[in-house]
Amino acid sequence: MTDPRHHTLMEDIQGIAFGVCVGAVGLQIMTHMGFVSGQTTGVAALVSYATGLPFPLVYFTISLPFLWLGYVRMGARFALKTAISVGLLTLATAILPRWIEFGHIEPAFAAMLFGTLFGFSALSVVRHGGSFGGLSILGLMLQDKTGFPAGYFQLVVDVAIFAVAAVMIEPTLLVYSFIGAAVFNLFLAINHRRDRYVAA
């Protein structure tokens, strides 16, 4: 009989694989539409738009330092699963444009679709003990050292990202980007609850 409080290796593999596949589709929608988002993906999108560098390369490069921070803050198991998740998401995001191509998508629907898909993907990976890395880890470390709440830190980061985006992308794209980010955060706020999901 399996322990309902813990995932098996196969459950972890399928959960992370699902998160990576769904997340890659969500990120392709984001970049296809010219949207931005919060946290690491938002920073990577802005750098990619400004420099012309491929989004997967920028995302992976920005994520690397946070893998070490994840190891320090959360331990080897979390760091390994995060490294695998980040690496696979980078690879899937780089390959996916060769396998699927988007035409016209109504921007409002694209924003909601991106937010929902990336919410699904992040939740799946987090529930299996990893993450897509990034600034949330830095926020937790800052909270440990200073007491400044990690949630407020993430809010400050997102405000800064959207402030920069306001001078880089069209106002309509900024509005749709905000909708996508709001859907993403609302999805996690509703569904990422320890009282409803206890497995690790």
Distances (CA, A) of 13 to 27, 28, 200: 21, 23, 13
Q: Is 125 left (phi over 0), alpha (psi -120 to 50) or beta?
A: alpha
Of the chain, the percentage scoring pLDDT greater than 70 comes to: 92
Type of residue numbered 183: V
Question: With 0-12 CB in 10 A as exposed, 13-18 as middle and 19+ as buried, what is 28?
Answer: buried
pLDDT recorded at residue 196: 59
Contact 199, 5 (CB under 8 A): yes
Please report which confidence band the pLDDT of residue 114 belongs to, taking 50, 70 and 90 as the band edges: very high
% of the chain residues with pLDDT over 90? 50
pLDDT for res 150: 65
- Whether 78 shows a pLDDT value over 70: the answer reads yes
Range in 69-73, 123-127, 138-142, 144-148 with the lowest mean pLDDT: 138-142
Tell me: the pLDDT tens digits for 136-145? 777 767 777 8
Quote the pLDDT of residue 176.
96
Higher-confidence residue of 172 and 198: namely 172
- Return the pLDDT at 107: 96
Give me the pLDDT at residue 195, please. 60
- The values of phi and psi at residue 97, to 5°, are -60, -20
pLDDT single digits (tens) 7-54: 788 888 899 999 999 999 999 999 999 999 988 999 999 999 999 999
Q: Is the pLDDT of residue 168 over 90?
A: yes
d(CA 26, CA 147): 33
pLDDT reported for residue 62: 92
